[in-house]
Structure 1
Amino acid sequence: MNTIDLTGKVALVTGSSSGIGRAVAIRLAASGAKVAVNYLKNAGDGEETVRTIRTAGGTAELFQADVSKLDQIGALVSAVEAAFGTGIDILVNNAGHLVQRCSNADMTEELYDTIMDVNLKSTVFVTKAALPGMKAKGGGAIVNLSSLAGHDGGGPGASVYAASKGAIVSYSKGLAKELAASGIRVNAVSPGFIGQTAFHATFTSEEGRKATVGRVPLGREGTPDDVAGAVLFLVSDLASYLTGETVEVNGGMFMR
């Protein structure tokens, strides 16, 4: 029987102090990976993620960085490689944010840049920074977090966010072709309505939540661990012949 063993692998999960990122970091560590936990503002939440991993016998270190800023991205990747003494094997570009709901009529250039930077720019340039070390190791796995919004345009005031997440899918396909010869696989995960996250606690009303869950064929909202399971599969050898794909984790709300 095949089992997932990531022993000896170094994984960087951006935006992993809470929610989906935290669940991914914990899952990877439970399978043996040494995990770099990244946070932007909430050090306490980041420390809790690291503490949870270590209590379970795993290995994790905490790193602060704004992954929408190029200088901080370079410093983050360098710090991770120095802390673990080797390049990154697994990169999960999880950091992202709706920022705020805003109609196109009210969209400003500043808000547009902020949304695109935290979602798409961060993914592109964290990947760029990690690639030299990954190529030096002869291969690796990258998973980029998209969203159901990237397929259906999202809810009210989310058009630019949806565009950034749709771009993640296209970027992942192009990058998969670019890096295949280097032994690096690139895939995306597209979550649907995932509860237990700050995203919906901030941007979704209880009425909206109930209405959305009512449209889910599997009859429930997803959990961060549902997404983490898909990420774990994609970075493992079980997915060794899978690249350029987008895995939909939405309980059947969207089927391709």
Structure 2
Amino acid sequence: MSSDVSSHRTKNQYNLTDRVAVVTGSDSGIGQGIALLLAQSGCHVTVCYHKDEKGALETAQKIHDFGRKSLIIQVDISDEEQVKELIEKTLKNFDNHIDIFINNAGISGDFNNVIDKEFRDWEEVFRVNIHGTYLCSKLIAKQYLKQNLEKIN
């Protein structure tokens, strides 16, 4: 996927001005593309990465090129404390609200020769792809409920 979002659309049809988005795995690939489309649509974006800091910096720079703010956070989404910190840091940086959360992070592992793989390699794929997605969904759902209650009161 090209990271040049503007080449795919001559006029942006989405208006998300000043909304706050978090995109896990936004240091490359689909996650980077989503983060850039959100920035082009007006969002400020928390760029999440696990290992590719250079890619996260590149994504953040492109977000700034769209005139939007970014925050870069290294996170292992399979670790509940790190996901809590991700949400807390985003809230602190962007006026105590999150409007959009994209669960994009995932790993595939290299299982071409499964005979040579350790079970812990398989467990890591599940920890990130299944448990990590669950943790992110659970914790952001709690935050969304809190934000809605604050709006009502």
TM-score band, normalised by the shorter chain? 0.7 to 0.9
Task: State whether structure 2 residue 100 is matched by structure 1 residue 87.
Answer: no
Map of 1:183-222 to 2, 5 A cutoff? none
Task: Write the letter of the residue equivalent to 1:124.
Answer: Y
Return the offset for 1:136: 2.6
Count of matched residue positions in the alignment of Structure 1 and Structure 2: 138
Q: Specify the SS of the correspondent of 1:67.
A: coil
- d(CA) in 2 for partners of 1:105 and 1:47? 37
Q: Which residue of 1 aligns with 2:29?
A: 19
- d(CA) in 1 for partners of 2:23 and 2:144? 15
* Contact 1:34–1:58 (Cα < 8 Å) also in 2: yes
- d(CA) in 2 for partners of 1:47 and 1:4? 25
Q: CA RMSD in A?
A: 2.1
Return the offset for 1:33: 1.1
Compute the TM-score of the two structures, normalised by the length of structure 1: 0.50
Runs of 4+ in 1 over 4 A off after TM superposition: 102-107
Structure 1 runs not aligned, ≥5 long? 140-256
- d(CA) in 2 for partners of 1:42 and 1:107? 23
* Contact 1:86–1:133 (Cα < 8 Å) also in 2: no
Return the offset for 1:74: 1.3
Q: Which residue of 1 aligns with 2:73?
A: 63
Map of 1:116-155 to 2, 5 A cutoff? 116-138=126-148
Compute the TM-score of the two structures, normalised by the length of structure 2: 0.81
* Contact 1:38–1:46 (Cα < 8 Å) also in 2: yes
Query: Which has the higher Rg, Structure 1 or Structure 2?
Result: 1
* Contact 1:70–1:125 (Cα < 8 Å) also in 2: yes
Moved more, 102-111 or 126-135: 102-111
1:131-181 CA-partner distances (Å, limit 9, x unpaired):
222123339xxxxxxxxxxxxxxxxxxxxxxxxxxxxxxxxxxxxxxxxxx
